[in-house]
Amino acid sequence: GGKDSLSLLKILDKIERDFPRASLAAITIDEGIPEYRDEAVENAVKYAESLGVPHYVFSFKDFFGFTLTEIVENGVSEEVGLQPCTICGVLRRRALTLAAKKIGATVIATAHTLDDVVQTYFLNILRGDTRFTPIGIRREVEGVIPRVAPFRLIPGYEIVLYAWLSNIPFQTYVCPYVERSMRNMVRAFLTEYEEKFPGSLFAALSSFEKIFIRNMQEERRCRKCNEPTGREVCRACEIEEKVLERLKR
């Protein structure tokens, strides 16, 4: 429902029309943030309808039995020692995988931009987590729906310009949890650095991925969900279990 996702939907729809054997569908994940996500879902529904693209809405409540707002308001995010944005990011990724399986998708395309990818790499380093793989580079793993990120080499401001020129709706509500997130601080730092030293994001992306690819370890499977992971239990299963345990108290 955001400008990046709707821009990607518009472009993929134009491409898909030239390949009649392929089919395109849009998925929106509702994590349960009043106003902010309500507006995004509404934008997504209307825009997908205008393009004639099938659109599906799935929620955290559907898949996990709770919303992000319930986690925050019940103090669960503080109890488990994780910021709301961290919980949201991990569970949104899991929810998107589950949703894609439900509708029979064979590839998942996300609208991560160059800025998003580099921010994520920095965040993982700052958290001491090096057990992750390059974002948006298609990999074929048995039983796993491959992911692609067509915007991964495009700066965020170019997507903003494209969306504006294409009359794509922008959200007016801001996520209420963004100000407290580590990503917000990393985003501000990288934006300022890129303004002073143009090309820094591309250089960072190249350096990070050379290191990651060179040092990638063979992935295991989560013993609970069987998804690829560098852990015995993947991050999504770990967070879901901790949250449910505390919400039941």
The predicted pLDDT at position 215 comes to 65
128: how many CB neighbours lie within 10 A of its CB? 7
The two structure tokens encoding residue 235: 């991050």
The predicted pLDDT at position 131 comes to 65
Reduced to 3 states (helix: H, G, I; strand: E, B; else coil), residue 193 is helix
Which burial class, exposed, middle or buried, applies to 31 when counting CB atoms under 10 A from its CB (0-12, 13-18, 19+)? buried
CATH of the domain at 94: 3.40.50.620
| Angle at alpha carbon of residue 174, lines to 169 and 177, rounded to 5° | 145
What is the C-alpha to C-alpha distance for residues 146 and 137, in angstroms, rounded to an integer? Answer: 9
Q: Number of H helices and number of E strands within the chain?
A: 11, 6
The predicted pLDDT at position 130 comes to 66
Q: What is the pTM of this model?
A: 0.91
* The total number of structural domains that make up the chain: 1
What is the C-alpha to C-alpha distance for residues 46 and 107, in angstroms, rounded to an integer? Answer: 23
**pLDDT tens for the 249 residues of the chain, in order:** 899 999 999 999 999 988 888 899 999 999 999 999 999 999 999 999 999 999 999 999 999 999 999 999 989 988 888 899 999 999 999 999 999 999 999 999 999 999 999 999 998 888 887 666 778 888 888 888 999 999 999 999 999 999 999 999 999 999 999 887 889 999 999 999 999 999 999 999 999 888 777 666 667 889 999 888 878 899 999 999 999 998 887
The predicted pLDDT at position 210 comes to 84
Q: Which domain holds residue 103?
A: 3-247
The predicted pLDDT at position 92 comes to 95
What is the C-alpha to C-alpha distance for residues 198 and 192, in angstroms, rounded to an integer? Answer: 10
Q: Which helix (H) or strand (E) holds 77?
A: helix 76-79
The predicted pLDDT at position 24 comes to 96
What is the C-alpha to C-alpha distance for residues 182 and 185, in angstroms, rounded to an integer? Answer: 5
